[in-house]
């Protein structure tokens, strides 16, 4: 794998973790509607709150 591919993969993983942390907080405080809006901001299919986690479908 080239360095560029490794770098972009690393960035995607960081973004995913960051998004998940933000989404978890959103779910805990605001519920599914805000979770769905956040998913749409990232061009993901609206998700759902499961056990406090906001899950967006890719």
Mean pLDDT on 1-24: 69
**What are the phi and psi torsion angles at 35 (to 5°)?**
-55, -50
Cβ atoms 45, 39 nearer than 8 A: yes
Q: Scanning the structure block, which residue is given the tokens 């960081």?
A: 14
User: What range does the domain containing 49 cover?
Assistant: 3-57
Q: CA separation (Å) from 48 to 8, 9, 14?
A: 27, 25, 21
Residue 42: CB atoms within 10 Å: 12
Q: Classify strands 53-57 and 45-50 as parallel, antiparallel or unpaired.
A: antiparallel
Number of domains into which the chain is organized:
1
- At 3 the pLDDT is 75
Q: In this predicted model, what pLDDT tens digit does every residue of 20-40 receive, in sequence order?
A: 666 566 666 666 777 777 778
Of the chain, the percentage scoring pLDDT greater than 70 comes to 53
Give the pTM: 0.40
């Amino acid at each position: 794998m080239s360095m560029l591919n490794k770098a972009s993969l690393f960035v995607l993983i960081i973004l995913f973790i960051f998004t998940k942390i933000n989404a978890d907080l959103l779910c805990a405080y605001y519920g599914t509607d805000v979770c769905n809006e956040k998913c749409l901001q990232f061009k993901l299919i609206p998700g759902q709150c499961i056990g406090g986690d906001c899950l967006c479908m890719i």
